[in-house]
Amino acid sequence: MRLINWKPNNSLLNLFDDIDNSFSKNYNGFTLRNYDNHYKIILEMPGISKKNINISIENEILNINAENSRNLSNDIDDVINYNYEKSYYMPDDVNIDKIKAEYNNGLLELNLPKNKQAKNIKKISIS
């Protein structure tokens, strides 16, 4: 299962447009890689301090929030505010208790380990 951008009240017809648009708004880059034993998400978040990044999981939805302000000069009107907020559905096979995050040089990397248990699949015979 893939991670997809989550948006409440999203219609199926607009799903792909919303995903494409989410990758081009408010931040420079998003990479999702699917390895044999884990998923890796890499987000480019330059200029954001690690202490201003919040990551949480609620109802199997991964939430990433960040805020940052930067003064361009001594004038109070020359302040740039960065707000970042994205949510993604978690794949069924992610071990939520073992997710790890690292932030270095403007890159947020999330490692989402997959459960090693085989999925419980039951074959149903046709009568």
Strands (E), the chain: 29-34, 38-44, 53-58, 61-71, 79-89, 100-104, 107-113
Q: What is the pLDDT of residue 77?
A: 65
- pLDDT tens for the chain, residues 1 to 127: 556 555 555 444 444 454 444 443 334 578 888 888 999 989 988 878 899 999 999 988 899 998 877 776 666 666 677 788 888 888 888 898 999 999 998 899 999 999 876 566 677 888 7
Return the residue matching tokens 């361009």.
72
Q: Using CA atoms, how far apart are residues 26 and 13, in angstroms rounded to an integer?
A: 23
Q: Using CA atoms, how far apart are residues 33 and 41, in angstroms rounded to an integer?
A: 7
Domain 12-113 adopts which CATH fold? Answer: Immunoglobulin-like (2.60.40)
> pTM score, two decimals?
0.64
